[in-house]
Amino acid sequence: MVPAVSWKLFGLAAVAVALGLEAVYLFMRRRRPPPVREVLFFPTPLICTEQVLRPGTCCSCPLPHHTDSALSQLIRRLLGARRSLELCIFTFSSSPLAQAVLLLHGRGVRVRVITDSDYMAASGSQIGALRKAGVVVRHNQSSGFMHHKFAVLDKSIVITGSMNWTMQAVQTNKENLLITDDGVCVRAYMEEFERLWVEFDPAGYCFFPEEEKKGL
Ligand SMILES: [Zn+2]
């Protein structure tokens, strides 16, 4: 027969273990950063983004300074990337957003861009400047547009919505962007990016389709 004192000790030990586990759980919960759930709406007032792109620098341009906008919030979020940026964007002509991407590339963040073949050569497109800087860009070859507009940061945050990365979209259009670290969403967007990255491998490009059809 087990003495009553042993049962008491066993009970106390069980309570101590339970309290310890609860303390660990509460500690871990406190340490976990809050989930990322943001929505940005455009158009946004035209402001100088120099301070966001290069904090501490002086700028004397005529645009408003020391004020926030949806564009500066987007740039700040992008510049938070530390390891990778996957960008899948139909039209890209915004200079401030291109500067943000180039800053990441210059820091050693692995940047991959997928875009639309028809619009990458349009007037004001930043795709050429990105390629010139060494950013790897792939594009569609099919007749349908590569119409996605999303970015994945560090494989852990997705930015998606209606907005192309153009100054017209930023300053004129009614646009929305959702920013989330929801794991299910991030995984789905990463899978789509990787699927398109393989589909648009340059090894499969056909540079002169009309001539090839004619057998020239
Ligand atoms: Zn300025």
Domain parsing of the chain, residue ranges: 1-32, 35-205
Known catalytic residue at 154: yes
* Distance (Å) from CA 73 to ligand 1 centroid: 16
* Distance (Å) from CA 53 to ligand 1 centroid: 11
pLDDT of residue 136: 97
Q: What is the mean pLDDT of residues 76-93?
A: 98
* Distance (Å) from CA 213 to ligand 1 centroid: 52
- pTM equals 0.83
> What would the pLDDT profile of 166-182 be if each residue is shown by its tens digit?
999 999 999 999 999 99
Residue 216 has pLDDT above 60, yes or no: no
The DSSP symbol for 33 reads P
Structure-token pair, residue 45: 């007032």
The superfamily (CATH) of domain 35-205 is Endonuclease Chain A (3.30.870.10)
Residue among 118, 154, 181, 182 flagged as catalytic: 154
Other C-beta atoms closer than 10 Å to the C-beta of 143 total: 6
pLDDT of residue 140: 93
pLDDT of residue 8: 82
How many whole angstroms separate alpha carbon 69 and alpha carbon 190?
28
Q: Which are the contacts of 71, defined by CB distance < 8 A and separation ≥ 6? A: 42, 44, 47, 49, 96, 97, 170
pLDDT of residue 180: 98
Residue among 105, 139, 148, 149 flagged as catalytic: 149
pLDDT of residue 32: 81
Known catalytic residue at 149: yes
pLDDT of residue 11: 81
Element (H, E) at 202: none
Residue among 68, 147, 174, 201 flagged as catalytic: 147
Question: Which of residues 208 and 32 earns the better pLDDT score?
Answer: 32
Q: What is the mean pLDDT of residues 120-146?
A: 93
How many whole angstroms separate alpha carbon 81 and alpha carbon 88?
16
CA-based end-to-end distance of the chain: 98
